[in-house]
Every structure is written in structure tokens, then in C-alpha cells.
Amino acid sequence: MSDTAPSLRECFDRLVDLSPAQRDAWLAAHALDPALRQELTAMLASDARDVPLLDAPAAALVRQYTPHDDEGHGLVGSRIGPYRLVDVLGHGGTSVVFRAQRASGNGTQTVALKLLRTGLFSADGQRRFRREQGVLAQLSHRHIASLIEGGISDAGIPYIAMEFVDGLPITRYADVHALDLRARIALLVTVCRAIDAAHRALVVHCDLKPSNVLVDGDGDIKVLDFGIARLLGDDAPGATQTSAIALTPGYAAPEQYLPGMVTTASDIYALGILMGELLTGQLLPAGQTRVNLSRAHLFADRPALPGLPSGAALARVLRGDLDAICNTARAPDPQRRYLSAALLADDLERWLRNEPVVARTPSAWYRLRKAMQRHRAAAGAVAFASLALAVGVSLTVWQAHVAGEQAQRATAVRDFLIELFDASRAGQLPDRRPTLEQLVQRASTRLTTHTDLSPATRIEMLRTLGEVSAGASDYAQADALYRQALALANDADDDPALTQIRLLQARLLILQSRYADASRAYEALLPQMRRGNDAASVEGLQNYASALMYSARTDAALAISAEAARRAAALYAPASKGAVHADLTRANQLIGGGRNADAAPLLEAALKTWRESERAPTDDFLQGLTDLSRVRGAQGRNDEAEALLREAVATAEKMYAGPHDRLALALLNLGDVLRLQDRLDEALPFLTRALAMMRTIYGDDHLRVSNTLASLGELELRRRHFDAAAEHVRSAIRWCERPDLHATRSCIEMYAARAGLALATGDLDAADASSARALAMAEELFRDGNRRTARLWQLRAELLLRRNDAPGALALCDRALALLARLGASDGMVTQAVLARRADALQALGRSAEALADAGQALAMWRRLAPAGTLREVELLGAQASIEASLDDAPAARDTARRALALIGDRTRIEPALLARIDALAKSAR
Amino acid sequence: MSQAAGSSDVDTLIDQLYLELRALARSVRRRGGTPDTLHTTALVNELYLKLADAERLRFGEPRQFFSYAAQAMRHLLLDRAKLQMRLKRENPLLRVALTDPDVESITVDPALALELDAALDQLLLRDERAAEVVNLHFFAGLGLSQVAELLDIAPRTAARDWRFASAFLKARLS
């Protein structure tokens, strides 16, 4: 020990790791200062003590001690979707707005994130939210804060991420900078132009007010919250009605308090009110008593606004033209307001140029009013949009074309829509609204008679209508419209339009399952697709690859697919929607080409990116889930496959309210996975629903209906409902008996199903014919072999066994096993079936010991692939018991047979001969 | 002093801590109304000044930043603990309103936080470095290995400092 007295720290460090006895000894040996000793003992005692105070970082305690409030502050720091909430920007009755950030590239992206106070819990509400935010996301304008994305949090709370604008409300900005009258009017003109741009893109604001019109540090105007009122409207059907939307008193137009359609006229009213507040500093009173702008200030005893003259001087400059403009915008009758925000802006600009304003020029006003009366529904385009939504058209189709056009053409299109819709709208009840087919029909008729529209506009409209029809599965209508558009484009020598239409025609062929025709159409377009470095060309190549794949030209398909992937990688940023879509497409085609191992990582990454981005699910996402499930199924990871397919079904049900191709496919796939595991009772409802839905969509004569029928046929066969199975298979196979048939995977499955059925009913010749036909197709399609080939050899082996050709059966099984090993599929449903069949063959040859080994292997494999207690397990156990009996191992045979019996719930489901054999073996004497 | 200055790890930590502090500090300012003592107002103002400094330091010297952040957090803890004690003592209505989820969520008696604050002052007199470890680990929320890196000491030393400091502090908590 040193001579100087040790410090508290020295003593503590020395003692803390010692045992209590050693500590006591040390303390006894050292004469410490009593105070020091006391402190030291207390600390050593505390060292072992757990004190919650110091357990967690101080921040956690601070949060604990910070009283909870409901202004959203409690959520600061938490995550919503990909965003981290940084602080609260403001809150209103229905929502709280946060400043939020997310990692983006190397930096962070700051957004204004609006969180609804209550959730949208109904599937319908969520669907509408997703649909509308998709529409809004396409609204892009320099003076409109863009919607970055919308989503629904895990708790069902919808959020919207918008461009973050650091600015002042327009009224505050004008006052802070003491803007004079002309500068204020000029600001207003910019606002009007922005509103008009949105209206042309079929979006109404619904809640215009100064706090939604910000001016940033550079003097740039940004209109916020476009369409948000509608987006976050109520959670009920018919939400195009204003009644449930929170209105801002003073700014809401009179008609917004009434039930009915929201129109652009309501925004024009709000612009009038905004004009009043910007020029007089107060809200102009609404209602019957009209108050002119120039008299408004008389009602208040407030000081003059900075930059503007006061009292009588202000009244003098406002009186006349500006009064008239403001009154026109604020007219209580929507039909008497400016027809568009652009016309309001035009009038304001006339005032700025000291020209006569339309609002005060009787003749011009008269003409304008007449024009408005002709277009009875002010802003019918928006009304049309609502209708389009109501009948389930994706508005984005219209959007993409309308918004991207020159203003003039957009206006022409809009006017066309107004008239189209106007003729059908007046006074109609919602359930009397025209159907989509009627609307499209009416539109195309008008387009052929409307010669005042430019050819370019008519081409585009016809093409768009064609896309709408194709989207609604009305292929004949789509085809007719594309042909019309093509003829027009030919006359007009419009090459880009020609290419566009031809790509759409080729796509339509795919939709109609005419893959060979589609391949030829795409092949002819190859030079154009290779020249065009754009999304349409990449998509064309992707579709071309699909068409080739479906026409069984695998190598060509993979080559084109690779080219599409290369072009997509050059075109899209990593993790962008386009890139993810390209990966999913590529993976799908790799699977089609049998390259599961290459597809799996692409799929996993793409699906992960998608889920994390909280992008709304689309068909591509569903396809990705299905594809990955297929890979997992092929790998024998059936539980993972099932989970993915259940996700696909749940997602599709959220996406589609009624029958839909994608939902039906998801149901079919899930039913198949369950069926292949012999979970027949679970599979049946999914397959039945899939069939009904497919029939609703496609009628009877379609490949997908046939696929579903074939699957149901196999199911009924397993349930030993032979009549039902035969009926299903017969209906299914019709598709494969057309004269122009070429080999397809589906037909292989169908003929295999028929062969299986024939074997079960003892019609060996029919089984021979069907299996031979399936095998011929498989050999044509898969020159290097495929699991389907192995499965068919297994079927043929059963046939040979039934014809007492056991050596031939054994040889086929050995071939099948070799093929499966080469394909890397030695552990799966097919291998299991082949092993069991091989055991049968060996048993028939009297090689029971070898048979027992194969049977055991088949049983073990089955148990890994499917849950316990299935019919198949009974069959495999029965086979094993028979082999054991022939090996003179009666106890084992009896034991195995009894285990099989214990699994049997419904004895009618077991083949009688098998059941009798098991019964006999179970009862056999010791 | 520290080799970690440029590492993105530290940058991320700084960003998170900074945002957290601002959010915590602001939430009380917003509750606003009438701060009952001058002291509270001064405290929050002072905190803001420090945070403004912290903003400047964000991209500079990490150790300096974390020291400031720790001090700010210490002030906040004291402030909020007092607020909790006052809410319980003075406002029966609030206490009723706060009964279920809020009161139950308080697992550590706020009075302990006040005692801790006093004990920390004593620790600083006894062992300056151990007190700094408490600042960085407990208040700034850094892991002990990060603390060691910032203070340029061996991780084992940081761990021993923390063990000494926490025993010292715990011995002084009632």
C-alpha cells in the first residue's frame, strides 16, 4: 500500500471485483478515514443494486415526465411509413401536419406529412384513398406543392407526404413585404393560373384559403393541399359529395354546404374570397347581402394594410373593375361565376394592363354567360372524373394524357368531356349513371362526328378510350377503337402516334392470350422500341418477352427479357417504381425460362423494397408474390409459398372490390398450393370462388377458366368424386381441343388430369392416350426436361404397372428420378410421387426390401412437404404396410396399417381396395 | 482527440439526438400558457441558446456537441421532473385527468431525478472524468464504447468509470 491515504476511486476500483470476504479482509487491513469507509461501503452495496433511474438513457425519462398531449407532439420522433416525424407544423380539426424526414440517397428529404386524426378502416375507404392519392401524385406544377406519396400506417391511419414549403400565407407575405395593389393582384394571377392547371388535370382543391397559399423566401407561390380535402373526405361511399368534408367557413362556396358534386366553380368562389382578403384584409361576408370589395373596409375599423392606401383612397381604386371581378368570382350561383380560373386570371391581367375587364363589358359578359349556359355543368370534367371513378376507371389514364398536353388540346379534350358527360348527367340518380361501356361508346361516336377537334386530339382520345376499354376487359371495343385511331394516325402521318397505337394493339393481343400473334406484332416494332429510350419502349420489350415466353420460345424470350432489363436499368433510378417493376418482370420471365435460382433474389429484393416503400400494391406486386411463391413451392418450401399466396389474396381483396382477374388468380394459386398438399377441404372454397370469378370475367371459353376447371378436376379426383371430376376435366379440356392449338403448359396439365382420372376409373386406354398426348407436348415445350415431364413419366409408370409391365414402370421411374436430380428438384412433390411409384414397381417385381426403402423415403418427404393427417399420408402408409407384410414383418405391417387407420376421418375418401387392404393388415393376427 | 469525427455513425447519432432534444424541448414550450416561475422560462430559454450553439456544432466537434447535448438533456430532465411533481402536488384536476395511462407510465419517482442532479454535482468534484462518462452515456445516450472513443480512453476504462459513477450516484439516491 502506498503511504498516502488512497482516494475513494482507488479503494472502489480495488474492492469492487472482490468477494465480500476479501473486501472485509482488505478493509480490516487498512485504516481508512471513517467517512471514506462509510461512503465506500454504501457504494459497494449500491453497485449490486438495480436502480431504474439509471437503467435507460435520460431521454426516456424526459419523455416519461413530459405530459401527453394530443397535438401530435407525442408522435414527434416516431416513424410513419418511411418518414421520421421531426416536429409539428400545425393542426386542424381532422389532421395534424408534421415536418418529417426520410433518408434519400445521401441526404435527407424533408416533407410536410399530414396525418389524419382517425383511421380509414374500411377497405373501401382505403381503396379510395389509394386511388385518389395516385391521381394527385401526378399533379405536377411549379406553383403547386406536389404530393410525394400517400400511405396508410400500420394502425390504419392515412398519411400524405407533401413537398415541404417554408413560406408565409399569401396575405401575411403581402403585408410583411408591404406589397402594393398591383403586386398583390399579380400574386393572385399566379394563384389563379396554378388552380387552373390543376383543374385542367381534373383536380379540385376544395379548401382554398390563405394558409394553403404560401409564398416562400424567393417570392414563389406554392398552393398546398390540393385535393386533400377530397382525399381525406369521409370514409363513406359517395364521398364526392361535400357534406362530409370539413369546410372552412368564409371560404366555402354556398353550394359546398349542399349535397352535390364538388366542382371547379367552388374553387373560383374561394379565389374571389381570397382576393377580398388580400386586398382588404378581411373576409368578405357571404350570403344574400352582397358586399362590394370597395365597401368591405367600411365594416372594420382596422388600420390600412401595409403597402395599400387606406379608407376612402382604397375604396376608390377597388371600385368598378375590381369590384366587378370579385363579384363575378363570388357569384352565389355557380353558373354565373367565371367558367375557369384562367378566365379570372385573364380578367385580372386585363386590369393590370388597364384594359376593359370582361366582368364589366356587357357584350363580352353576355357571350361568356351564354357559353357557360351551354356548358351547364361548370367544370363537368371533374364531374366526369367522379363518374369515371364511380365506374372504376383508373383516372390516371386520362390524367397522363390530359395533363401532358398543350393547354389548348387539354382544353379541347376537357370541353369534349364536358359535352359528353353533360348530355348524360343532368338530374340523373347515381344508379342511373351510364355504364363505362355506354360512355365509351358515346365518346367514340362523337369523336367520329366531331370534326372540329384536331386530328391529334382525336387520335389521342380514341387511343385513350381504347386503353380504358382494354382495362375494362372489353377487348372487342378496344380493338375497334385502336383501329380507328390507327387509321387517323395513318392519314395524319403521325409516326410516334402510330408506334404508340401499335404497341397497344400488340398488348391487346397478349390480353386476349393470342401470344403468337402478339410476338409477331412486337417483332415488327423492334426497331422502334430499340430507338425509343423511354418507358413505353422498355414496357414494349418486356411485353414482347412475355409474349415469346407464352408461345414457348423460351430462349428468344430470355434474350429479349435481358435486353429489356438492361434498358430499364439505364432508364430508371435504383429502387424507383420503374426499376422495381423491371426487376419483377425480369424475375417472372426468368422463372418462365426455368431459372428459378436467378429469379429468387431479384424477387425477394423487389418485394422488400416495395413493402418498405409503402407504395400502394399493384398487380405487379401481386405477380411478384405469386412468382416467389412458385419458386418456394418448387423448392419444397410449401409453408412459405402458402404464406406468400395468402398475402397475395389478402392484398388483392383490398385492391379490388368485385370480381377481378388478379384476385381470381390469387385464389386459384392459393387453392392449388393447398390442393397439392392434399388439404382438399381447405382448397375447395378458394378454387370454387376462383372459378366463379373467372367465369364472371371471361365467360366459359378462356384459358384461365380452363386452368381453374382442371385444378378443380384434380381436387374432385382426389376426393373420389369421379363424376364431378370428369365434368370439370371435360369442360377444361375444351380449350385444348381447338383446331389451332399449339402446345402449352396448361394443356399438359389438363391432359395429365384426364389421364389421372382415366387411371382412377380404370379406363387404361384413355389414360394411355391422354398421357401420351401430354408427354408429347411436354417434350415439345421442354426439350431439356421439366418437372412436368417427370410427373408424366410417373403417370405412365402407373399405367405400365396396371398393365403388368413392372420392369417398364421401374425404368420410367428411374428416368424420372435422374431428370429430377438434374433439375435440382430431388426434394419435392413430384419426387415424392415418383419414389412411391418406384416402390410399387419394385414390390411388383418382388424386390420388397428395396421397395420398403423407397416407400419410407417417399413418406418422409411427404411429411416434410405437407401437414400431418392427409389422404396421401394414408396412401403412403398403406403401401408401406403392404410391403412390410410381404417381407413377413406382420407386427410392423399391423402397426403401420393402424397408424394409417388412425388418420382416416372420412372412409369414403379412400379407394375401397386400399381401405380393405389396410383394414385387413390392421386386423392381422400376431 | 477523436477519430470518429467524420464517421457517418456519429453523424447519425448527432442528428438523432439533436432532433430528439429539439422535439422534447419544444413540446413544453408549446404547452406554454403560463410558465409559473421565471426559473422555468429561463431554463427553457437557456436551453434554446445552447441548442442554437449545438446547431453550429453539429458539423464540427462531436465531443463538444455531445457535451452540450448532455447538459441540455440534464436541464430538461430537471425541468420535466419538477413539472411532474408540481402537476401532482398542485392540480388535483390534472391529477385526475392524468390518472390512468399517464401516471401509470411514470415508473421512476420524479423526486429521484432531483436527487440525481445534486449527486452529479458532487461526483464532478470527486472524479471529473467519471462525471463526463455519466454525461455522455446517461444524458447523451451514447453507448459506452462510443463514450470511450470520444474521450479517447480504453473501453474498459469507460466501463469502470461508469461502474464507479453509477455506484456513487445510486448510493446517494434515497
What are A282-299's pLDDT values in tens digits? 887 765 446 787 777 665
Q: Is the pLDDT of residue A872 over 80?
A: yes
Cα A584 versus chain centre, distance: 13
Question: pLDDT-derived band of residue A753, with 50, 70 and 90 as boundaries?
Answer: very high
Q: Report d(CA A854, CA A348) in Å as an integer.
A: 89
CB burial class (10 A; 0-12, 13-18, 19+) of residue A455?
middle
Q: Report the number of distinct structural domains present in chain B.
A: 1
Lowest mean per-residue pLDDT among A205-209, A480-484, A892-896, B142-146 = A205-209
pLDDT value at residue A31: 84
Amino acid at A84: R
More confident residue, A387 or A843: A843
Q: Is the pLDDT of residue A235 over 50?
A: no
More confident residue, A172 or A339: A172
Tell me the range of A309-323, A384-398, A665-679, B61-75 where mean pLDDT is highest. Answer: A665-679
Question: pLDDT-derived band of residue A356, with 50, 70 and 90 as boundaries?
Answer: confident
Q: Residue A165 in contact with residue A213, Cβ under 8 Å? A: no
Neighboring chain B residues of A8 at a CB cutoff of 8 Å: 126
Neighboring chain B residues of A53 at a CB cutoff of 8 Å: 108, 112-113, 116, 173
Indicate yes or no: CB of A67 within 8 angstroms of CB of B171. no
> pLDDT for A602-644, tens place per residue?
999 999 988 888 777 888 888 899 999 988 888 878 899 999 9
Neighboring chain A residues of B102 at a CB cutoff of 8 Å: 67-68
Neighboring chain B residues of A39 at a CB cutoff of 8 Å: 171
Q: Which residues contact B143 (CB under 8 A, 6 or more apart)?
A: B137
Indicate yes or no: CB of B141 within 8 angstroms of CB of A43. no
Q: Is the pLDDT of residue A156 over 70?
A: no
Neighboring chain A residues of B84 at a CB cutoff of 8 Å: 65, 67
For an interface test with B, the pick among A14, A16, A37, A65 (most B C-beta atoms closer than 10 Å) comes out as A65
Indicate yes or no: CB of A58 within 8 angstroms of CB of B171. no
Indicate yes or no: CB of B167 within 8 angstroms of CB of A46. yes
Question: pLDDT-derived band of residue A6, with 50, 70 and 90 as boundaries?
Answer: confident
Task: Return the HEC string of A773-786.
Answer: HHHHHHHHHCCCCC
Q: Is the pLDDT of residue A558 over 80?
A: yes
Indicate yes or no: CB of A62 within 8 angstroms of CB of B80. yes
Q: Report d(CA A107, CA A360) in Å as an integer.
A: 53
pLDDT value at residue A294: 77
Q: Is the pLDDT of residue A518 over 90?
A: yes
Q: How far is B1 from chain A (nearest CA, A)?
A: 25
Indicate yes or no: CB of A9 within 8 angstroms of CB of B126. yes
Lowest mean per-residue pLDDT among A165-179, A230-244, A557-571 = A230-244
Going by C-alpha positions, the residue among A585, A664, A680, A657 that lies closest to residue A627 is: A585
Q: Residue A818 in contact with residue A826, Cβ under 8 Å? A: no
pLDDT value at residue B48: 52
Binding residues of A are: 114
> pLDDT for A32-89, tens place per residue?
888 889 989 999 988 888 777 788 888 888 877 776 554 566 677 778 888 888 888 8
Tell me the range of A311-315, A757-761, A827-831 where mean pLDDT is highest. Answer: A757-761
Candidates A62, A71, A87; nearest CB to B22:
A87
Rounded to 5°, angle at Cα A309 from A305 and A311: 90
Nearest chain A residue (CA) to B24: A63
Neighboring chain B residues of A52 at a CB cutoff of 8 Å: 107-108
Candidates A13, A65, A87; nearest CB to B164:
A13
Question: pLDDT-derived band of residue A502, with 50, 70 and 90 as boundaries?
Answer: very high
pLDDT value at residue A426: 39
| Residue A9, C-alpha cell as written in the block | 476511486
Q: A67 and chain B: CB distance < 8 Å anywhere?
A: yes
| Residue B154, C-alpha cell as written in the block | 480504453
Indicate yes or no: CB of A61 within 8 angstroms of CB of B30. no
Q: Which residues contact A353 (CB under 8 A, 6 or more apart)?
A: none
Lowest mean per-residue pLDDT among A370-374, A418-422, A758-762, B117-121 = A370-374
Candidates A12, A44, A66; nearest CB to B24:
A66
Amino acid at A488: L
Q: How far is A148 from chain B (nearest CA, A)?
A: 23
- Return the DSSP state at A108: E
Q: Which residues contact B123 (CB under 8 A, 6 or more apart)?
A: B130, B131, B134, B165, B168, B169
Q: A47 and chain B: CB distance < 8 Å anywhere?
A: yes
Average pLDDT over residues A113-141: 66
Candidates B27, B112, B126; nearest CB to A73:
B27
Q: Is the pLDDT of residue A479 over 80?
A: yes
Q: Is the pLDDT of residue A806 over 60?
A: yes
Neighboring chain B residues of A100 at a CB cutoff of 8 Å: none
More confident residue, A93 or A773: A773
For an interface test with A, the pick among B20, B27, B107, B146 (most A C-beta atoms closer than 10 Å) comes out as B27
Q: Is the pLDDT of residue A362 over 70?
A: no
> Would you say domain A66-121+143-164 falls under CATH 3.40.50.300?
no
Indicate yes or no: CB of B126 within 8 angstroms of CB of A47. no
Q: A63 and chain B: CB distance < 8 Å anywhere?
A: yes
CATH code of A165-374, in short, is 1.10.510.10
Phi-psi region at A107: left, alpha or beta (left = phi > 0; alpha = psi -120 to 50): beta
Nearest chain B residue (CA) to A68: B102
Tell me the range of A267-276, A488-497, A781-790 where mean pLDDT is highest. Answer: A267-276
Element containing residue A852 per DSSP (H, E): helix A848-865
Q: Is the pLDDT of residue B35 over 50?
A: no
Q: How far is B104 from chain A (nearest CA, A)?
A: 10
More confident residue, B19 or A555: A555
Q: Is the pLDDT of residue A790 over 60?
A: yes
Q: Residue A254 in contact with residue A315, Cβ under 8 Å? A: no
Percent of chain B's residues with pLDDT above 90: 25
Q: Report d(CA A251, CA A283) in Å as an integer.
A: 8
For chain B, the average pLDDT equals: 70
Q: Residue B151 in contact with residue B161, Cβ under 8 Å? A: no
Lowest mean per-residue pLDDT among A185-194, A353-362, A571-580 = A353-362
Q: How far is B27 from chain A (nearest CA, A)?
A: 6
Question: pLDDT-derived band of residue A398, with 50, 70 and 90 as boundaries?
Answer: very low
Average pLDDT over residues A445-466: 74
In A517-546, the residues whose Cβ lies within 8 Å of chain B are none
pLDDT value at residue B155: 93
Indicate yes or no: CB of B74 within 8 angstroms of CB of A68. no
Indicate yes or no: CB of A54 within 8 angstroms of CB of B166. yes
Percent of chain A's residues with pLDDT above 70: 80
Indicate yes or no: CB of A44 within 8 angstroms of CB of B167. yes
Q: A57 and chain B: CB distance < 8 Å anywhere?
A: yes
Q: A84 and chain B: CB distance < 8 Å anywhere?
A: yes
A/B interface, count of CB pairs below 8 Å: 115
pLDDT value at residue A200: 76
Indicate yes or no: CB of A51 within 8 angstroms of CB of B19. no
Indicate yes or no: CB of B126 within 8 angstroms of CB of A8. yes
Nearest chain B residue (CA) to A101: B19
- Which residues constitute the domain of residue B75? 4-172
Q: How far is A90 from chain B (nearest CA, A)?
A: 11
Indicate yes or no: CB of B31 within 8 angstroms of CB of A51. no
Going by C-alpha positions, the residue among A45, A50, A54, A59 that lies closest to residue A12 is: A45
Question: pLDDT-derived band of residue B104, with 50, 70 and 90 as boundaries?
Answer: very low
Neighboring chain B residues of A67 at a CB cutoff of 8 Å: 31, 83-84, 87, 98, 102
Write down the H helix ranges in chain B: 8-31, 38-57, 62-90, 92-98, 104-105, 110-126, 128-134, 144-151, 155-172
pLDDT value at residue A837: 96
More confident residue, A262 or A518: A518
Q: A54 and chain B: CB distance < 8 Å anywhere?
A: yes
For chain A, the average pLDDT equals: 80
Q: Report d(CA A321, CA A361) in Å as an integer.
A: 10
Q: Is the pLDDT of residue A472 over 50?
A: yes
Percent of chain A's residues with pLDDT above 90: 32
Question: pLDDT-derived band of residue A388, with 50, 70 and 90 as boundaries?
Answer: very low
What is the distance between the terminal CA atoms of chain B, rounded to a whole angstrom? 38
What is the distance between the terminal CA atoms of chain A, rounded to a whole angstrom? 86
Q: Residue B148 in contact with residue B157, Cβ under 8 Å? A: yes
Lowest mean per-residue pLDDT among A135-149, A150-164, A748-762, B160-174 = A150-164
Backbone torsions φ then ψ of A682, nearest 5 degrees: -75, -35
Task: Give me the residue label for grid cell 433511474.
Answer: A53
Q: Is the pLDDT of residue A314 over 90?
A: no
Q: Is the pLDDT of residue B125 over 60?
A: yes
Indicate yes or no: CB of B26 within 8 angstroms of CB of A71. no
Three-state DSSP state, A529: helix
Lowest mean per-residue pLDDT among A46-50, A703-707, A892-896 = A46-50
Going by C-alpha positions, the residue among A500, A507, A509 that lies closest to residue A532 is: A500
Q: A93 and chain B: CB distance < 8 Å anywhere?
A: no
Neighboring chain B residues of A87 at a CB cutoff of 8 Å: 22-23, 26
| Residue A889, C-alpha cell as written in the block | 414383418
Indicate yes or no: CB of A42 within 8 angstroms of CB of B171. yes
Q: Report d(CA A306, CA A284) in Å as an integer.
A: 19
Binding residues of A for ATP are: 114
Q: A35 and chain B: CB distance < 8 Å anywhere?
A: no
Going by C-alpha positions, the residue among A511, A440, A455, A509 that lies closest to residue A486 is: A455
Average pLDDT over residues B5-33: 58
- Return the DSSP state at A216: E
| CA dihedral for A107, A111, A117, A122, sign (positive or negative) | negative
Three-state DSSP state, A426: coil
Question: pLDDT-derived band of residue B49, with 50, 70 and 90 as boundaries?
Answer: low
Neighboring chain A residues of B160 at a CB cutoff of 8 Å: 13
More confident residue, A486 or B1: A486
Indicate yes or no: CB of B24 within 8 angstroms of CB of A88. no
Neighboring chain B residues of A44 at a CB cutoff of 8 Å: 167
Indicate yes or no: CB of B87 within 8 angstroms of CB of A8. no
pLDDT value at residue A300: 58
